[in-house]
Amino acid sequence: MKRKLSPRESEVYTMIVSGKTNREIWNELCISRKTLENHISRIYDKKEVSNRIELMQQHYRRFENARIS
């Protein structure tokens, strides 16, 4: 079962799927690279994906399914 993202993880998730780079994200959120990496790792775990590509594919599949319904 997938766990719910924290508010900060949701913010990072939104930035990732909008195409922002890690550098853009950590600069915009004023957090360290390591803190961002920790958020991303937890997002991957909660979304049950292994990398950014899988995360984006999962997001856009869900978006397409919602649009078709």
With respect to residue 20, please indicate whether it lies within any of the assigned structural domains: yes
In a domain, 1, yes or no: no
Please, what is the angle between helix 7-17 and helix 33-47, to 10°?
A: 90
In a domain, 16, yes or no: yes
- Judge whether 16 and 56 are in contact, CB under 8 Å: yes
Q: Kindly state the average pLDDT of the residues 30-59.
A: 96
DSSP, collapsed to helix, strand or coil, labels residue 3 as: coil
- pTM of this prediction? 0.87
> Total domain count for the chain?
1
User: Would you say residue 46 lies in a domain?
Assistant: yes
**Would you say residue 51 lies in a domain?**
yes
Question: Domain of 16: which CATH number?
Answer: 1.10.10.10
> Is 19 part of a structural domain of the chain?
yes
List the domain range (segments joined by +) for residue 12.
7-68
In a domain, 63, yes or no: yes
Q: Model confidence at 47, in pLDDT bands (50, 70, 90)?
A: very high
